[in-house]
Amino acid sequence: MKKVYKEVSTLDKICYDSFNLSEDLLMEHAAFGIKNILPKKSKSILIVAGPGNNGADGVALARMLHLDKKVSLFMPFGAKSAMAKLQLKRALSVGIREIDKIKNRYDVVIDSIFGSGLSTSLDDKTQTLLTKLNSLKALKIACDIPTGITSEGEIESIAFIADITITMGAYKEALYSDKAKDFTGKIKCVDLGVSHKLYEREADTFLLEKKDMKLPYRKNRNTHKGDFGHLSVVAGKKQGAGVIAAMAAYAFGAGLVTIVENEPYTVPYSLMSSTTLPHNNTAVCIGMGLGNQFDDDCLRKFLLSHDNPMLLDADLFYCDILVEVLDKKSNLVLTPHPKEFSSLLKMTKVADVSVEEIQKSRFKYIRLISQKYPNAVFVLKGANTLISQNGIVYIQKFGTNALSKGGSGDVLGGLIASLLAQNYTPLKAAITGSLAHAFSCKRFNKNSYALTPDALIEGVKSL
């Protein structure tokens, strides 16, 4: 996993104070980093540079590419910061001339108008410019962060739609808001003249990588089904949701999976069913499709009557008993989507906010509730899924729009619960389950609209 920061100006300052690196040197390395990522075959490059230091990065890049590529430098707002003026002076001295009109054909378009410090609304001129840039048929690269995305990851009107975002020094939270996902493209990070190990400091946010997925491979040969846990999945009014979760759990390594229901009903042949919690149960999965299947007293008794790890989902986020469970129990994983998360925040008195406000400040609210309940792990679903325990946040960026189907969340719950049954810690279960869910989707080679829970479960088998 990689470290992620709210802002990097403090890290830049360490470079100035501790490593005797100047702002100028950091900027030169930033431009050089972008240069190294550009496709070798690209011939014509449009660089649109703003008036501040983000624009200065673009101007420095133009100087480095001059004569080796056909570079067009467009500066619609002039150069205003000291570094922008210095870089423009250097660029002019090597023979670069600014253009005053954008043509329609370039191999690469580079946005270095406004960077991660954007905190105000874009004016009409900038919005018109971005509309023009987005219409161009070229590889689009954003310098640091696409123009139009604020430091909070918000898009107020319009933003540059990048194929690649090259961020400077370290990864930034704003790039991983749900709204930003349609604008950032592939995100890459370049260093600023020192190793990332020197540049970075302590962090409370981390970007997950595929290698953080620790699949439940079976290494010992002398084993039996009881060695791999016994998961109980509570089925409710919508029994299909529980069955989907149970099938996902069984495919992900749980030795035994039992559907727990008020009255036995037909289940897939590989599962078991019971009206009570099995005595050898090692984890519980409850909430998906629950409805009002159990009265409050029955639900309270069930949730508080055992010490096994639990995954809590869906309808439970509207039940007041959940607050008592959070207060009294540990080894919990909660997997809400934003609407459910809004209800959870209100019940726990962390915040009374709308879904829209949550989506604007996902990092803030998941950090707050995980600090209040440090013995639980929270998984906030979204375009970028956030996982948090005790104030530390992990970003799972690999999900796709193919997962926007009924049943996908039930599969996720089953995967995580399966790992809980197999003695993973709640945090490790949430991380590996979420990554497996995303990478199973990526293995799906049919149309993005066609993914089904069954296909997701099949994909997990081949990770």
User: Is there a single domain that holds both residue 176 and residue 219?
Assistant: no
Lowest mean pLDDT among 42-46, 82-86, 181-185, 288-292: 288-292
Measured from the Cβ of residue 275, the count of other Cβ atoms closer than 10 Å reads 9
Contacts 24+ apart (CB under 8 A), 210-217: 210/398, 210/435, 210/439, 212/1, 212/431, 212/432, 212/435, 213/431, 213/432, 213/435, 213/436, 213/439, 213/463, 214/428, 214/432, 215/432, 215/436, 215/463, 216/252, 216/253, 216/418, 216/419, 216/422, 216/424
Query: In the structure, what pLDDT confidence band is assigned to residue 115 with cuts at 50, 70 and 90?
Result: confident
* Domain endpoint, select from 157, 184, 202: 202
Using the predicted structure, report yes or no on whether residue 225 has a pLDDT greater than 90.
Answer: yes
Mean pLDDT within 112-136: 89
User: Is there a single domain that holds both residue 189 and residue 269?
Assistant: no
In the chain, % of residues over pLDDT 90? 87
User: Is there a single domain that holds both residue 82 and residue 198?
Assistant: yes
The answer to whether 385 touches 366, Cβ cutoff 8 Å, is no
User: Is there a single domain that holds both residue 78 and residue 196?
Assistant: yes
Question: What CATH number is given to the structural domain containing 447?
Answer: 3.40.1190.20
Q: Which two tokens stand for residue 282?
A: 């090692």
User: Is there a single domain that holds both residue 92 and residue 223?
Assistant: no
User: Is there a single domain that holds both residue 285 and residue 195?
Assistant: no
Contacts of 258 (CB under 8 A, 6+ apart): 230, 231, 232, 233, 271, 272, 273, 274, 278, 281
- Measure the CA–CA gap between 159 and 184, rounded to whole angstroms: 10
Mean pLDDT within 313-342: 96
* Domain endpoint, select from 202, 236, 265: 202
User: Is there a single domain that holds both residue 13 and residue 92?
Assistant: yes
User: Is there a single domain that holds both residue 188 and residue 250?
Assistant: no
Contacts of 96 (CB under 8 A, 6+ apart): 62, 63, 66, 71, 73
How does pLDDT run across 6-61, given as a tens digit for each residue?
A: 999 999 999 999 999 999 999 999 999 999 999 989 999 999 999 999 999 999 99
pLDDT for residue 117:
66
Using the predicted structure, report yes or no on whether residue 157 has a pLDDT greater than 80.
Answer: yes
Query: In the structure, what pLDDT confidence band is assigned to residue 120 with cuts at 50, 70 and 90?
Result: confident
In the chain, the number of structural domains is: 2
User: Is there a single domain that holds both residue 266 and residue 368?
Assistant: yes
How does pLDDT run across 229-276, given as a tens digit for each residue?
A: 999 999 888 889 999 999 999 999 999 999 998 876 778 889 999 988
Using the predicted structure, report yes or no on whether residue 307 has a pLDDT greater than 70.
Answer: yes
User: Is there a single domain that holds both residue 227 and residue 191?
Assistant: no
User: Is there a single domain that holds both residue 159 and residue 250?
Assistant: no
Range of the domain at 274: 211-460
User: Is there a single domain that holds both residue 276 and residue 189?
Assistant: no
* Domain endpoint, select from 147, 168, 202: 202
Query: In the structure, what pLDDT confidence band is assigned to residue 172 with cuts at 50, 70 and 90?
Result: very high
